[in-house]
Chain A
Amino acid sequence: MKYPFVALLLVLVAPLTLSAEERIYFQVLSGEETVSFTNQAVSGVHPVLKDVALRTFTKPFSPELVKSDYYQLTVNRGIVWNGENLIQYDYMPLMKDRFRNVFWFTADGSGLVKSEIYDNDGRLLFSATCMTNNMPVVPASSFVQLSMDESPLKFFGFANVYTESASDGTFRMTFTDGLNRFSLFRSLVKPKALKEQEKMVMYGNYVFNKIHGDYKYTVVGTIPYYKMEEVVVKAITLYDDESFRHTVESRPESMQTTELN
């Protein structure tokens, strides 16, 4: 009598517990809810959320690109997890103008075991933990390093690493300080009524939206809302300058050298 019941229980529980290669456990804040899932979840998780989580966890990281002007780094050793010695790197923003990032590496620094991002209210925006094999640490590409050194456009320690003009007229610029990232999008306002200003958390990223005239400015990333609003105000100011607008929209790859700190 016992065995059929046990077999039925195993059938129900097994899909939840069977291990496989490269199993990563994510916790992502979206709206007011924290969504928990693994990279091997086949249902119940939006595919874009899974993709965003994986890219956030695997984005390149080079400690030398993280400026000490903006972060206080605390290194903790002697952490043991799953029988492995780990080193914790805790990047705390000095001016609350970006978010705290915490990493757990293997003792030799070659494997990333866990990473977390907290906003300035202490809320966990993003968390990823390797349950099986550790993620190899990928150094920031030379493209990023070049951008950090020679970027013509800088926002409070962030460097522009990508610019794009889409066929629908959307213009976007992506910035990074070697740790946190944000992107600015400028697009035509859609016919449907929109709020003049909107804030939300989506897929572990802050989203800020402001309408100015015929255009909507949207900032997504891991910086606080007040800094996103500053970015939008500066972008609006820039685009009011006709000469700048002409330069940006006609030749997006070649930018004027402009310091906006």
Chain B
Amino acid sequence: MRCKQFYDIISAFVDSEANALETAALQEHLKSCEICKNELASQYALSGMVKDCHNSGICNIDVSKSVMSKIIHKNELDDIFEYAVDADAVISRQTRKFKYVAAAFMCAITAAAVFSARTTNNMQMAAAEPETYEYTAYIYDHLNTPDLEYVSNSGNLQLNMVSFVK
């Protein structure tokens, strides 16, 4: 057995809970192991202090530092956690704000693209007008003949025909 395996036996021995075989093995091991001897002594000392506290009602074991250090550590962790939560909230708000801005930007881009396409179409035709004004008038006249007037004046359709001003 190695020393670690004897620690459980030592603890049981100190509490008078070790059986005969474990006791014999421990005694044989203690003959050549200083480490386990020290461990046994420590266990005895601790057991003695606890018994004294129990018996006298007064404990001389000061664990305040250990406890307080743990409380402070916990508080620090809580602060860090709260900071992280706040940071998450900030990031979440910022993300939402970014999403709003991105959505508004996309809508603006779409509207601009639609407007631009219509404007470009009109501008192209306007640019062509000075040179092709005469041909435009000819095409208009080409389809403004008596045989077609029958259509423009008949039916119930609102075709919104326009008059071309030369």
Contact = CB atoms under 8 A, between A and B. Distances in A.
A190 B130 CA distance: 14
B138 A185 contact: yes
Given A33-B124, A59-B148, A48 B132 contact: no
Interface in A45-98: 45-52, 54-56, 58-60
A50 B128 contact: no
Contacts of B159: 22, 39, 54, 58
B139 A52 contact: yes
A9 B139 contact: no
B162 A44 contact: no
Contacts of B162: 47-48, 50-51
Contact of A60 (B110, B119, B147): B147
B122 interface: yes
A220 B160 CA distance: 23
A218 interface: yes
B20 interface: no
Contact of B128 (A31, A162, A181, A183): A31
A174 B147 CA distance: 10
Interface stretch (B4-12, B85-93, B150-158): B150-158
A5 B102 CA distance: 11
Main secondary structure on B side of the interface with A? helix
A134 to B, nearest CB: 11
Interface stretch (A117-125, A136-144, A244-252): A136-144
Contacts of A44: 117-119, 121-122
Contacts of B154: 138
A176 B135 contact: no
Contacts of A12: 107, 110-111, 114
A43 interface: yes
Contacts of B104: 8
A39 B147 contact: no
A125 to B, nearest CB: 12
Contacts of A58: 148, 151-152, 157, 159
Contacts of B136: 48, 202-203
Nearest to A176: B147
A138 B142 contact: no
A203 B145 CA distance: 17
Contacts of B81: none
A135 B155 CA distance: 10
A1 interface: yes
A200 B141 contact: no
A207 interface: yes
Contacts of B138: 172, 183, 185, 207, 218, 220
A34 B16 CA distance: 103
A1 B118 CA distance: 31
A102 interface: no
A135 B164 CA distance: 24
22 contacts: A22-B159, A30-B125, A35-B121, A44-B117, A45-B121, A48-B139, A51-B161, A54-B160, A58-B157, A136-B155, A136-B157, A141-B150, A162-B145, A162-B146, A162-B147, A174-B145, A182-B142, A202-B135, A203-B136, A205-B142, A207-B139, A220-B138
Given A46-B122, A203-B136, A205-B142, 9 more contacts: A22-B159, A43-B118, A55-B161, A138-B150, A162-B145, A162-B147, A185-B141, A202-B136, A218-B134
Interface of B: 96, 100, 103-104, 107, 110-111, 114, 117-119, 121-122, 124-125, 128, 132, 134-136, 138-148, 150-152, 154-155, 157-162, 164
Interface of A: 1, 5, 8-9, 12, 16, 21-22, 30-31, 33, 35, 39, 43-52, 54-56, 58-60, 135-136, 138, 140-141, 143-144, 147, 161-162, 164, 172, 174, 176, 181-183, 185, 190, 200, 202-203, 205, 207, 209, 218, 220-221
Q: Which 6 A-B pairs have the closest CB atoms?
A: A44-B118, A55-B143, A183-B142, A162-B145, A141-B150, A144-B147
